[in-house]
Every structure is written in C-alpha cells, then in structure tokens.
Amino acid sequence: MDHPSGVPSQDFDPIFESTRQGQEFIAQVHQKMSKLVQEFANGEINRTQFHRLYDRYQRQIMTVAQLIAESDPSTWRNAITETEDTMHLKKRLTAKAVGMSVYDNNSGMPIETLGEFAVDPELIVPMLSSYRSAAAEIFRAGMRSTEMENGQWLCFVPGEFTTLIALFSLEPSDNQLEMVERMHQDFEKANRHALEGGHADASQLAYPFYSFVQQRAKPESDQEDA
C-alpha cells in the first residue's frame, strides 16, 4: 500500500519527512519576518510589536534548526508550541488611544478633554511652556512623543491655535500618529472661526477625534458589535 504522499510505504522515511517539514516551516517563518519588517517600515506596527514578534520568530527558527540537526528531529513541532498566537500577540501589543486633551496655545489652558486623560497637570504645563518658548522651531518640527514612567505614551501635536495631547496605552505606530495629526488639523479647520476669535466654547466645537477615543475605550465585544 502506498503512503498518502504517493511514496511507497517501504520507502517512507519519517525522519527525512520531519526534517523536510521543519525546513519548510523555517522558510515560512523567514517570510513572516520579512512581512513584519515591511509592516514596521510602513508604520503599521509599533516597536514593541516588532521586537516581540521578531524575537519570537527568531527563537522558533533557532529551535527548529537545532532539533533538525539532532538525531531525532520529529520533536520540533512540540518544541515551538506557544499559548498565544501571532494575531492575539500583535493585538495585545497594539497601542490604544486612552484620552485626548486640547490646549489653547495662547492661554495654555485646556479647551476640552476626552476619554481617560489622567495625567498630572504639573507634567503637562512645563511641556507646553517649552512649546510656547520656542514655538517656531517646535511647530516646524511637528509632533513630539514621549514615554511616561507607567509605560503609557504622551504625544504632543502642535497646531496654529491649539496643541492636541494624546495619551496612548503603549507606543503608537507611525500610522496612528499620522492619523492623530490629521484629525488635529481637521479640528482646527472645522473650528477655525471660533479658535481664531479666541472665544471657543468647548460645547460648540466639533471633535474629529471623538470617536477615535470613544471606540478604543469600549470593550472589544462592543466594538465588534458596533
């Protein structure tokens, strides 16, 4: 009786077959690594995601290669079994917009705060003062982001009339930062008349980033149902 692969059963070598499958697995992981590199280059994932996933792929390749080189390579599949798959790991390490606050550039006072923006004003005020003291330089340079002691990230997005401060659960990807910057530009365009006159009523303004914060504050099940 022939083996399912078409090879006569008496010629089927399980060790050779395990080695071949292991080498195919290594080639597939190399492809995943290349895709991961491209995703980071495109700004689709953050550094934490890149480092954790790249390290995971690297360990898988080294483990399988080592077991293939040993006398019994049939154990390589069990050796790389992990409790969390790539998709869930990437999702868990994706930055979420926790909260956002818009500050008036002239007064340095907050116009509106959305989400859970539990950041000590004593931390915010000096940073805003630095923006105002070197406005031209800072504004040409664009946004700034910094990691806080608790692992969250603060992103400062300067504009003509206001500065948007976004609080993320983790380091945001370049794509997320670009999205926040674009939303802030739309905020200033949509509310230009009120902001230009210096009499902005927070309850009358339009907030392009409102749903961006609210959606990420919902439980995942609610987001899927929405």
Residue-wise pLDDT tens digits, 14-71: 777 777 888 898 899 999 999 999 999 999 999 889 999 998 898 888 888 877 776 5
Residue 223 pLDDT exceeds 50? no
CA distance 140 to 132: 13
The Cβ of residue 76 has, within 10 Å, a number of other Cβ atoms equal to 22
Terminus-to-terminus CA distance in the chain, angstroms? 55
Helix ranges (DSSP H) in 166-206: 174-190, 192-197
CA distance 212 to 133: 30
**% of the chain beyond a pLDDT of 90:** 25
Q: Identify whether residues 87 and 102 lie together within a single domain.
A: no
CA distance 196 to 204: 14
* Position 205 in a domain: yes
Q: Identify whether residues 23 and 102 lie together within a single domain.
A: no
- Give the structural domain span for 151: 97-225
Q: What is the pLDDT of residues 155-176, one digit of tens each?
A: 988 888 999 999 999 999 888 8
Q: Identify whether residues 74 and 106 lie together within a single domain.
A: no
Give the end of a domain, one of 68, 92, 116.
92
Contact 143, 172 (CB under 8 A): no
* Position 215 in a domain: yes
